[in-house]
Structure 1
Amino acid sequence: MPVAEHVRRHAAARPDMVAVRGPHGELTYGELAHDISGAARHLLGRGVRAGSLVAIGVADPVALLVAVLAADLAGATPLVGDHAWDRRRWARMTGTTTVDLLVDAPLPDEPGPAVEHVAAPGDLAWACFSSGSTGRPRAVVRTRASWTASFPHLGELAGMAPDDVVLVPGPLSSSLYAFAAVHALATGATAVVPGRWPAGSLPAHLDQATVVHLVPHLLPAVLARPGALRTVVAGGAALDPRGRAAAARAGVRIVSYYGATELSFVAADADGGGLRPFPGVEIEVRTAPGSALGEVWARSPWLAEGYLGEAAGPLRRDGDGWMTVGDVAHPYRAGEVLRLRGRGDGAIQTGGATVVPEDVEEVLRKVPGVGDIVVIGSPHPSLGSIVTAILEADGDAPPPRALLEAVARSGLDVAQRPRRWYAVPSLPRTQAGKPARALVAARMAAGDPDLRRLT
């Protein structure tokens, strides 16, 4: 059923319970149920119908959640993006996909009768952009069942209950944080959605929060003053064992998980014993002859339907219901721990975001004076990696760094923009003439003097 129906049930049982708290105020479950219904009536009045695609980019995270749940209640598919995108950026991100309505401001409360939508498990009830989307948009769409039927499993793993206060300290345009907020509301807990990392206000949030969803590089700041915190749910990157040990010393339990926007949950570690299949998930690691590593394939009820508009992306499937995004791991047998090694396609994990190098390269190759370019991840102590660009000049000298950064700002999201820039006389290439990414990374790690830092 739509998450709005969960909210209505909680409103009937505990109307004065705080449902969501944001930077500009809070709503009880009674108020949230009322606002969702009014917003759904407004959407229906704008011509939204079952199957419509409603793009949502609202600055206030509370208003964004109202719009998302209203669209779902109306039978539409909400597609969540960044509130900073203008209509041109939305058009580029959605490509050939037709958006029926763009919501870029809080929806009004339209009076009228209760909205009743006969929902089905197979309805397309959620869509969001995978990390690293640029000129080649990849909006991942999933059914209602794949989205909501996993809620009880996460709740059980994390030990969550309606009395919990759940801190969601990141933008809801991220599927990780959006799922966390919606899951909290379906549970009947209080979702705290500051909209971005709360920085100076973090201690005040932690004095109230009992559960927090985050990416691992944010864990030290949380553990420095855990307050009322009981459980950390960590996803988006590998968890350093030292982080789990620090949490144990602080009396905080960690539930970490591995997944992808396209695959949803694949494996979880609720006790420090290693990643094991999330409930309902089958895992295979398919290795090529003579290879020590293989690709991770998953089969489960939680898999996405695919990309809107049949956009290209790392997602692949076979004829038996298995899917992969190219992550690699050591060989795996049922009952064992899944030992991940990273992305097989060279994707960069930076601060919990996944950046696809080809997406960044596509934008930067258009800069005058860039002959070719390779983007890799350079190690970083807290972010995991940072995006690093190595370019081959088209002429005697590379373009100035100021021009490169200006193009990056105009065409790339924050996580995708290179933090370090280098120039090289010529890039190493494969036999097919393509830049050899692995060789570039090896030269960078070895401190090759031919790689000149652009300042």
Structure 2
Amino acid sequence: MRPGELVPIRDDAAPRVVERIALVRAAGAVPLVGDPRWSASHWQQVQDAASRAEPDPQIAWAAVTSGSSGRPRIVLRTAASWSSSFPVIADLLEAGPDDAVALPAPAVSSLTQFSLAHAAEGGPRPLLPRGRALVAQDFAEATVLHGTPQALRALLDAEGSPRLRAALVGGSHLDPALRARAEAAGIRVVAYYGAAELSYVAADHGSGLALLPGVEADVRDGELWVRSAYVAARYLDGPLRRDGEWIASGDRATLRDGRVHLLGRMDDAILSASATIVPEEVEAQLRTLPGVRDAAVVGLPHRTLGALVAAVIEPDPDAAPSLDDLRGAAAAVLAPAHRPRRWFMGPLPRTASGKPARAQIVREIQTGEWVRLV
């Protein structure tokens, strides 16, 4: 391994992947963690991208964003972009090396990788799940949590972390009822807003998202832009969307009374169980499936996941696919989070410019005008 070289690691078992990440970092190389749930072709594309990359000694960490397929995006960052925020996160959690942090998200997640990097420099001791399922006993010693709202809910349901006193929660919307439930159990909850490209931006202790120390924000044409020492360096295949030191977030927002008010994605991306799904990317893959003439992908509101990915298929009239055909073919070309959970079939409503009329589709699904494939 050479300094700055991307080293692919398949996340097969928590103890092993943590050890491999540590060995790669000790050599000055860059761990590029994969998800065992990916299809073979998706993982091969990530490895191929890594093999083509020139080593860059300034890069310490890499994270694969939730590109649906075909074009996974790899975010590269320096060690300092994370270490400069370690004191801020330690203050949010009120935790140090004597604490143990529950990390239910797999190591492919930049959320978990951050906490592993923090642990190596005096942060809380990391606790990862030993298997694929969340088992309460894996986190029995945890005093703090860094994870998604879904992970917090699962730990509360399992009643398996009696020492838990603080939770840093990000990745998707935190239900106020879930916050209240955790606080009733004696767990102080801090929700935060960030992204793989931006790292941490703002935190919410219960009164709204306030910018974190060292972070500046601006809204330009309705889009949130961020400037801080925490942002990533670039994508493997190109630069971030920049204006000098300012980075575009891709999120619509307003700034009022010292608080960030998020209004959704600029690109109409779907946020589902902490994954970001770009409809156009999924649609492009669905159109390659046998029997599919065209497709539209939308997000259907869901109480706990934020949104469910739904697909409306316009079939080839001579060879309409079955639901089993669609599910099987989609599993071969789409990452798990991007596979539709609901399927519908029929002629697509379109805008005047010929694009799928997504807002109309969502409205018609909600009013029962589309019949779900079962």
How do 1:304-453 residues align onto structure 2 when only pairs under 5 Å count? 304-310=232-238, 316-318=241-243, 320-329=244-253, 331-333=254-256, 336-395=258-317, 398-425=320-347, 427-448=348-369, 451-453=370-372
In structure 2, what is the Cα distance between the partners aligned to 1:326 and 1:86? 27
Give the aligned partner of residue 454 of structure 1: 373
How do 1:16-415 residues align onto structure 2 when only pairs under 5 Å count? 48-83=1-36, 88-94=41-47, 96-98=49-51, 123-195=58-130, 198-199=133-134, 201-202=135-136, 204-224=137-157, 225=159, 226-269=161-204, 271-287=205-221, 294-310=222-238, 316-318=241-243, 320-329=244-253, 331-333=254-256, 336-395=258-317, 398-415=320-337
- RMSD, matched Cα: 2.4
Whether the aligned pair in 1 keeps the contact of 2:41 and 2:333 (CA below 8 Å) is no
In structure 1, what is the Cα distance between the partners aligned to 2:181 and 2:199? 27
Q: Which moved more, 1:74-83 or 1:271-280?
A: 74-83
In structure 2, what is the Cα distance between the partners aligned to 1:87 and 1:51? 25
In structure 2, what is the Cα distance between the partners aligned to 1:195 and 1:412? 26
**1:262 Cα offset (Å):** 1.2
The alignment partner of 1:284 has SS state of strand
**1:377 Cα offset (Å):** 1.2
- The amino acid of 1:452's aligned partner reads V
Whether the aligned pair in 1 keeps the contact of 2:39 and 2:335 (CA below 8 Å) is no
Instruction: Tell me the alpha carbon deviations over residues 61-120 of structure 1, each in whole angstroms, 9 at most, x when there is no partner.
Output: 22222222222222222211124558754332355553589xxxxxxxxxxxxxxxxxx9
**1:439 Cα offset (Å):** 2.5
Flag the 1:52–1:239 CA change in 2: closer, same or farther, 3 A.
same
**1:265 Cα offset (Å):** 0.8
TM-score (norm 2): 0.91
**1:423 Cα offset (Å):** 0.8
Instruction: Give structure 2 stretches of 5+ with no counterpart.
Output: none
How do 1:6-25 residues align onto structure 2 when only pairs under 5 Å count? none
In structure 2, what is the Cα distance between the partners aligned to 1:438 and 1:277? 32
- The amino acid of 1:69's aligned partner reads A
Whether the aligned pair in 2 keeps the contact of 1:232 and 1:255 (CA below 8 Å) is yes
- The amino acid of 1:366's aligned partner reads T
The alignment partner of 1:223 has SS state of helix
The alignment partner of 1:386 has SS state of strand
The alignment partner of 1:389 has SS state of strand
TM-score (norm 1): 0.76
**1:144 Cα offset (Å):** 1.4
**1:352 Cα offset (Å):** 1.7
- The amino acid of 1:81's aligned partner reads G
Give the aligned partner of residue 113 of structure 1: none
In structure 2, what is the Cα distance between the partners aligned to 1:86 and 1:216? 26
Instruction: Give structure 1 stretches of 5+ with no counterpart.
Output: 1-47, 102-119, 288-293
**1:454 Cα offset (Å):** 1.5
In structure 1, what is the Cα distance between the partners aligned to 2:371 and 2:216? 47
In structure 1, what is the Cα distance between the partners aligned to 2:2 and 2:326? 43
- The amino acid of 2:115's aligned partner reads A
In structure 2, what is the Cα distance between the partners aligned to 1:79 and 1:194? 19
Point out the structure with max Rg over C-alpha.
Answer: 1
In structure 1, what is the Cα distance between the partners aligned to 2:301 and 2:81? 35
In structure 1, what is the Cα distance between the partners aligned to 2:50 and 2:248? 23
- The amino acid of 1:278's aligned partner reads L
**1:193 Cα offset (Å):** 0.9
In structure 2, what is the Cα distance between the partners aligned to 1:171 and 1:96? 21
Flag the 1:85–1:131 CA change in 2: closer, same or farther, 3 A.
closer
Flag the 1:133–1:141 CA change in 2: closer, same or farther, 3 A.
farther
Flag the 1:317–1:94 CA change in 2: closer, same or farther, 3 A.
farther
Q: Percent identity?
A: 44
